[in-house]
Amino acid sequence: MGSQGGFYQSKEFLDLVKSIGEARSKAEEDRIVLNEIETLKRRISEPDIPKRKMKEYIIRLVYIEMLGHDASFGYIHAVKMTHDDSLLVKRTGYLAVTLFLNEDHDLIILIVNTIQKDLKSDNYLVVCAALNAVCKLINEETIPAVLPQVMELLAHPKEAVRKKAIMALHRFYQKSPSSVSHLVSNFRKRLCDNDPGVMGATLCPLFELIARDVNSYKDLVINFVSILKQVAERRLSKAYDCHQMPAPFIQIKLLKILALLGSGDKQASENMYTVVGDIFRKCDSSSNIGNAVLYECICCVSSIYPNPKLLESAADVISRFLKSDSHNLKYMGIDALGRLIKISPEIAEQHQLAVIDCLEDPDDTLKRKTFELLYKMTKSTNVEVIVDRMIDYMISISDNHYKTEIASRCVELAEQFAPSNQWFIQTMNRVFEHAGDLVNIKVAHSLMRLIAEGFGEDDDNADSKLRSSAVESYLRILGEPKLPSVFLQVICWVLGEYGTADGMFSASDITGKLCDVAEAYSNDETVKAYATTALMKIYAFEIAAHRKVDMLPECQSLMEELLASHSTDLQQRAYELQAVIGLDAHAVECIMPSDASCEDIEVDRDLSFLNDYIQEAIEKGAQPYIPESERSGMLNISNFRNQDHHEASSHGLRFEAYELPKPAVQSRIPQALIASTEIVPVPEPMYPRESYQTTMPSIPSDAGSAELKLRLEGVQKKWGRPTYTPATSTSNSTSQKTVNGTSQGDGASTVSSMRETYDSRKPQVEVSHEKQKLAASLFGGSSKTEKRPATGHKAAKASSHMVEKSHVPKSSMEVASDKAASAQQPPDLLDLGEPTATSTALQLDPFKQLEGLLDTTEVASAVNGAPAASISPDIMALYVDTAAGIHNKNDADLLSGLSNPSVTNMPGTTAMPQVTQSSSKRPNPKDSLEKDALVRQMGVNPSSQNPNLFKDLLG
Partner 1 sequence: IHFVLLISRQGKVRLTKWYSTYSKKERSKVLRELSGVILTRGPRLCNFVEWRGLKVVYKRYASLYFCMCMDPDGNELEILEIIHHYVEVLDRYFGSVCELDLIYNFHKAYYILDEILISGELQESSKRTVVRSVAAQDSLVEAAKEETGSTISNIIALAAK
Residues within window 222-241 making contact with partner 1, judged by CB under 8 A? 237, 239-240
Query: In the bound complex, what is the minimum distance in angstroms from residue 361's beta carbon to partner 1?
Result: 9
Q: Are 457 and 495 in contact (CB under 8 A)?
A: no
Q: Tell which positions 890-909 bind partner 1, by CB under 8 A.
A: 890-891, 894
Among 111, 225, 292, 495, binds partner 1 (CB under 8 A): 292
Q: Do 161 and 128 contact (CB within 8 A), yes or no?
A: yes
Backbone phi, then psi, for 392, in 5-degree steps? Answer: -55, -45
Asked if 302 touches partner 1 (CB under 8 A), the answer is: no
In the complex, minimum distance from the CB of residue 478 to partner 1, in angstroms, rounded to a whole number = 35
Alpha-carbon separation of residue 618 from 602, 639, 643, 668, 926 (angstroms): 27, 15, 14, 17, 111
Report the distance separating Cα 778 and Cα 904, nearest Å: 51
- Shortest distance (Å) from residue 362 CB to partner 1: 8
Residue 5 interacts with partner 1 (CB under 8 A): yes or no = yes
Cα(605)–Cα(355) distance, integer angstroms = 60
Cβ atoms of 495 and 534 within 8 Å: the answer is: yes
> What residues have CB less than 8 Å from 695, skipping those under 6 apart?
601, 603, 710, 713, 714
Where in 826-865 is the site for partner 1 (CB under 8 A)? none
Which of 47, 308, 362, 901 forms a contact with partner 1 (CB under 8 A)?
Answer: 362
Binding footprint of partner 1, residue count (CB under 8 A): 110
Q: How far apart are CA 910 and CA 915, in angstroms?
A: 9
Q: Which of residues 643-672 bind partner 1 (CB under 8 A)?
A: none
Of the residues 557, 615, 944, 946, which one makes contact with partner 1 according to CB under 8 A? 946
Least separation in angstroms between residue 51's CB and partner 1 is 9
Minimum Å gap between C-beta 328 and partner 1 is 5
Q: Which stretch binds partner 1 (CB under 8 A): 267-275, 587-595, 767-775, 879-887?
A: 879-887
d(CA 860, CA 854): 10
Note whether 381 and 781 are within 8 A (CB). Answer: yes
Closest CA to 534 of 516, 557, 546: 516
Residues 141-160 that bind partner 1 (CB under 8 A): 160
Q: Does 627 bind partner 1 (CB under 8 A)?
A: no
Smallest distance from the beta carbon of 47 to partner 1, in angstroms?
Answer: 20
The residues pairing with 263 across neighbouring beta strands, listed in sequence order, are 304
**Chain centroid to CA 274:** 38
Nearer to partner 1, 681 or 897 (CB): 897
Kindly report each contact of residues 406-412 with a partner whose C-beta sits within 8 Å and lies 24 or more positions away, as own/partner. Answer: 406/371, 407/431, 407/434, 407/435, 407/438, 407/439, 408/439, 408/440, 408/443, 409/371, 409/375, 411/439, 411/440, 411/443
Closest of 513, 517, 528, 526 to residue 561, by C-alpha: 528
- To partner 1, the closest distance from the beta carbon of 83 in angstroms equals 16
Q: Does position 306 bind partner 1 by CB under 8 A?
A: no
Scanning 154-195, the segments in alpha helix (DSSP H) are 159-175, 177-180, 185-190
Out of 323, 330, 403, 430, name the contact with partner 1 by CB under 8 A: 330
- Binding flag, residue 186, partner 1 (CB under 8 A): no
Q: How far is the CB of 413 from partner 1 (least distance, A)?
A: 19
Q: Which stretch binds partner 1 (CB under 8 A): 186-194, 199-207, 837-845, 850-858?
A: 199-207
With a CB cutoff of 8 Å and minimum separation 6, the contacts of 67 are 20, 29, 33
Distances (CA, A) of 534 to 582, 583, 798, 880, 895: 17, 17, 48, 63, 58
What binding mask, one character per residue, do residues 19-48 give for partner 1 by CB under 8 A, x or -? -xx---------------------------
Stretch that binds partner 1, among 58-66, 309-317, 676-684, 690-698 (CB under 8 A): 58-66
- Applying CB under 8 A, which part among 428-436, 711-719, 747-755, 882-890 lies near partner 1? 882-890
CB of 91 to partner 1, least distance (A): 7
- Interaction between residue 438 and partner 1 (CB under 8 A): no
Minimal distance, residue 927 CB to partner 1, in Å: 4
Q: How far is the CB of 909 from partner 1 (least distance, A)?
A: 17
Least distance in Å: CB of 870 to partner 1? 19
Determine the residue type at 21.
G
Q: To the nearest whole angstrom, how small is the minimum distance from the Cβ of residue 201 to partner 1?
A: 5
Name which of 289, 285, 345 is nearest 321 in CA terms: 285
Q: Given candidates 28, 152, 346, 363, which one binds partner 1 under the rule CB under 8 A?
A: 363
Among 119, 252, 310, 407, binds partner 1 (CB under 8 A): 252
CA–CA dist 117, 126 (Å, integer)? 10
Which position among 57, 295, 417, 539 is part of the footprint of partner 1 (CB under 8 A)?
A: 295
Q: Which of 57, 111, 119, 200 binds partner 1 (CB under 8 A)?
A: 200
Cβ atoms of 391 and 426 closer than 8 Å? no
Residues 539-558 that bind partner 1 (CB under 8 A): none
Cβ proximity to partner 1: between 492 and 880 the closer is: 880
- Cα-based angle 241, 244, 246 (whole degrees, multiple of 5): 45
Which of 281, 401, 566, 810 lies at the binding interface for partner 1 (CB under 8 A)? Answer: 401
**Which of 371, 521 has the CB closer to partner 1?**
371
Quote the least distance from Cβ 89 to partner 1, whole Å: 8
Between residues 77 and 513, which has the closer beta carbon with respect to partner 1? Answer: 77
With beta carbons less than 8 A apart as the criterion, state whether 599 and 720 touch: no
| CA–CA gap between residue 35 and residue 108 (Å, rounded) | 29
Q: What is the distance, to the nearest Å, from the Cα of residue 826 to the centroid of all Cα atoms in its chain?
A: 39
How many other β-carbons are positioned within 10 Å of the β-carbon of residue 745?
15
* DSSP of 757-777: HHHHS-HHHHHHHHHHHHHHH
Q: Does 375 bind partner 1 (CB under 8 A)?
A: no
Stretch that binds partner 1, among 359-367, 446-454, 658-666, 760-768 (CB under 8 A): 359-367
Site for partner 1 in 96-135 (CB under 8 A): 98-99, 102-104, 125, 128, 132, 135
Start-to-end C-alpha separation, the chain: 18
Contact pick of 32, 49, 67, 462 for partner 1 (by CB under 8 A): 67
Kindly state the greatest CA–CA separation across the chain. Answer: 115
Residue whose CB is less far from partner 1, 241 or 516: 241
Least Cβ distance, residue 264 to partner 1 (angstroms): 18
Contact pick of 10, 440, 749, 861 for partner 1 (by CB under 8 A): 10
Indicate the residue type of 448: M
Contact with partner 1 (CB under 8 A) among 249, 273, 305, 692: 249
Give the footprint of partner 1 on residues 914-933 (CB under 8 A): 918, 922, 924-925, 927-928, 931
191 near partner 1, rule: CB under 8 A: no
Under the binding rule (CB under 8 A), the answer on residue 594 touching partner 1 is: no
Asked if 798 interacts with partner 1 (CB under 8 A), we say no
Is residue 247 part of the contact set for partner 1 (CB under 8 A)?
Answer: yes
242 touches partner 1 (CB under 8 A): yes
735 contributes a contact to partner 1 by CB under 8 A: no
Out of 884, 897, 898, 909, the residue judged to bind partner 1 by CB under 8 A: 884
Q: Does residue 727 contact residue 737 with C-beta atoms inside 8 Å?
A: no
Q: Which of 380, 485, 490, 502 is nearest to 428 (CA)?
A: 490
